Structure 1
Amino acid sequence: MQLADAASPQAFPRLIAELGLAPASCYVLKVKRDGQDWWLLAHGEFADANTAKALLARLPNVPGLTRNWPRKIQYLQREFDAVGP
């Protein structure tokens, strides 16, 4: 589930803590967006979208929670340019 996106991942640790999530269950993904580095914060692996939505309903509404929907990794791979060397 994508929780946030930003030009910098600097605020992600605070967001993870405020959401009460285990850092080991979160992923920071560096992608290219419009030719610039962009960062995504994702959480968990879910069997289906309904399971992810159920978790989302239990998360507190905190500043920085900008994107909050289930997303398949294949979608992210298509939406953003691959980050190369």
Structure 2
Amino acid sequence: MSGIEHYVEELAQIDREIEHYAAICGVDLADHDAVKRCLKQPHGDWADDKARASLHGLLVLRIKVEGEMIAEGLVPRELNGW
């Protein structure tokens, strides 16, 4: 598998998980403010909310993978307008 194929598949897997946990948490991925809140501030009660904590971690992971792709000269696909 080439580097491009690896990144494309990895991003697709992450996106599926993000969509899954966003649905569980009631977070509309098209609502940029809601997603930014998930990224900026894990709430105090999130320790008991595994789905929301997972969503936060997956969003952070996606940003890191996007950064790696950009560093390699690749363009990551959008996630719901992002």
- The TM-score with structure 1 as length reference comes to 0.33
User: If the length of structure 2 is used for normalisation, what is the TM-score?
Assistant: 0.34
Higher percent of residues as strand: 1
State the structure with more CA Rg. 2
